[in-house]
Structure 1
């Protein structure tokens, strides 16, 4: 039996479709890019060498992208995952603009918009997470 605070407000069909399209696109892109970073694809190795922070950052970002790519496919976690991925790509855009000074900032800016839109659409699920978790833990 669902408690009243576990039910989420209704969302229109159009926003639901847009949300799922963004979730699938986001999952595909971030899983691919995260895998590439963790697997050590040469372009990513070179990029992170040029950043100068060390290859540990490539692994860290790769794991964050993999986790976010999985998270955006779980409806209750999609907004939170999209918010986290937005922060990751803000860092990428700033890195390309300030440190690398190349045109690599374009894709991150597009992803900021897409993941920001997903986070906004799924904001009700994100806001309900604390009460949902309390209910799961039997402390509600």
Structure 2
């Protein structure tokens, strides 16, 4: 009986290691994407984005810069162990709102599935990393 229990425990540890590696890979790739490709241009060249993109032209410049800041902060937060769940929650909200913006404001519902898929991925990351919320709360309450 102990051999069976030991095998089950080993399998559970192996599954947790694989899940952790998948999560960190996703967090790093998505974090870099939001820092470099999504939020970064909104901070560095917001006026050029507004001139070249019809959907961005309907957003006030200040809001576009705020969204860029939120995306960059979320991307960095995904790569900081204590901030992963909070950053994932924030990015889930931002991407969910982006899907709504695409579907209802710009009237391009075909563009909504990608941000919705990202919102689902961020919700999963936040769920899996929920222990970091407790650690962050303990750090803040010190």
TM-score > 0.5, shorter chain as reference? yes
Q: Give the C-alpha shift of residue 128 in structure 1.
A: 2.8
Q: Give the C-alpha shift of residue 106 in structure 1.
A: 2.4
Whole-angstrom CA distance in 1 between matches of 2:49 and 2:26: 24
Whole-angstrom CA distance in 1 between matches of 2:114 and 2:38: 12
Q: Residue in 1 aligned with 2:31? A: 27
> Structure 1 residue aligned with 2:128, among 121, 125, 129?
121
In 2, are the aligned partners of 1:93 and 1:105 still within 8 Å (CA)? Answer: yes
RMSD: 2.0
Whole-angstrom CA distance in 2 between matches of 1:108 and 1:43: 23
Give the structure with the larger helix fraction.
2
Larger Rg: 2
Q: Give the secondary-structure state (helix, strand or coil) at the position aligned to 1:12.
A: helix
Q: Residue in 2 aligned with 1:59? A: 65
Asked if 1:95 is matched to 2:101, the reply is: yes
Q: Give the secondary-structure state (helix, strand or coil) at the position aligned to 1:13.
A: helix
Q: Give the C-alpha shift of residue 43 in structure 1.
A: 7.5
Q: Residue in 2 aligned with 1:112? A: 119
Q: Please report the TM-score for the alignment, with normalisation by the length of structure 2.
A: 0.78
How many corresponding residue pairs? 124
Q: Please report the TM-score for the alignment, with normalisation by the length of structure 1.
A: 0.79
| Larger RCO of the pair (alpha carbons < 8 Å, separation 6+) | 1
> Structure 2 residue aligned with 1:132, among 118, 130, 139?
139
Segments of 5+ residues of structure 1 without an aligned counterpart are 1-9, 136-140
Q: Give the C-alpha shift of residue 42 in structure 1.
A: 7.0
